[in-house]
């Protein structure tokens, strides 16, 4: 059961096409898991005028809902040469279509004794987008954020304060959030992480861990 979802404003921006590429990938991947959020997206065209006014966004164009549902199959405007979608038991379709490969085709690099990272090349240098593979029980040192962080769990789980995030759950953090996430003990954790600013580690090993979850671009 999925317990943690994108904020309503994030779904509105996704539906209207105003959400940037990297958070859009997160939203599309979550929607692949979550029927509840898919239903909310479907309702946006009917609710349109009132909800858009409340969010302070531009009026939706006719047919916007159809465009949103098409993005569930092809969430990002990239040329994939009409290649068939790779199948992967962990990664949802929006991510494999974006990458053109599954987990086995990724180049992983070690960023800690129990953590590996595969960077995703995206069009916006403002964001760092990556897949993280974390050994069971691994704690990420305490840190704060210089901006927004979107973490979508794809396998295993993350425990953060008193919340447990499992497959399909979205963990959001911002400048007011200091935390120390821990991977669940039962299996390795794989997640999609998108940041629009570097994190700020508050622990003793800050300098050693700066490359991990930092704000550097994959390009």
Q: What is the pLDDT of residue 143?
A: 80
Pairing between β-strand 170-173 and β-strand 157-160 as defined by DSSP bridges: unpaired
pLDDT (0 to 100) of residue 90: 96
- CATH number assigned to the domain with residue range 103-209, chosen from the 4 options 2.60.120.10, 1.10.10.60, 3.40.50.40, 2.40.50.140: 2.60.120.10
73-102 residue pLDDT tens: 554 443 434 456 678 999 999 999 999 999
pLDDT of residue 116 exceeding 90, the answer is yes
Using alpha carbons, list the distances in angstroms from residue 195 to 22, 24, 35, 152. 9, 13, 25, 12
Residues 6+ apart with CB under 8 A from 19: 10, 13, 27
Q: φ, ψ for residue 142 (rounded to 5)?
A: -55, 135
Sequence spans of domains, the chain = 8-99, 103-209
Write the CA distances from 106 to 40, 88, 119, 160, 165, integer angstroms.
33, 12, 9, 27, 24
What's the pLDDT score for residue 119?
Answer: 94
Task: Convert the pLDDT of each residue in 99-114 to its tens digit.
Answer: 999 999 999 999 888 9
């Amino acid at each position: 059961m999925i317990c943690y979802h994108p904020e309503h404003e994030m779904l509105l921006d996704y539906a209207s096409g105003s959400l940037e590429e990297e958070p859009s990938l997160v939203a599309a991947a979550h929607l692949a898991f979550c029927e509840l959020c898919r239903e909310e997206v479907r309702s946006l065209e009917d609710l349109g005028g009132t909800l858009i006014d409340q969010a302070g966004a531009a009026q939706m164009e006719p047919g916007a809902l159809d465009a949103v549902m098409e993005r569930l199959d092809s969430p990002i405007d990239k040329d994939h040469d009409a290649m068939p979608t790779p199948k992967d038991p962990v990664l949802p379709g929006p991510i494999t279509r974006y990458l053109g490969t599954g987990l086995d085709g990724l180049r992983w690099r070690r960023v800690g004794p129990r953590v590996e990272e595969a960077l995703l090349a995206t069009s916006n240098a403002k964001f760092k987008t990556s897949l993280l593979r974390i050994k069971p029980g691994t704690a990420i040192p305490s840190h704060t954020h210089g901006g927004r962080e979107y973490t979508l769990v794809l396998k295993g789980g993350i425990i953060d304060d008193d919340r447990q995030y499992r497959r399909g759950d979205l963990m959001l953090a911002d400048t007011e959030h200091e935390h120390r996430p821990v991977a669940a003990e039962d299996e390795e954790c794989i997640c999609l992480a998108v940041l629009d600013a570097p994190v700020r580690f508050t622990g003793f090993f800050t300098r050693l861990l700066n490359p991990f979850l930092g704000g550097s671009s994959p390009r």
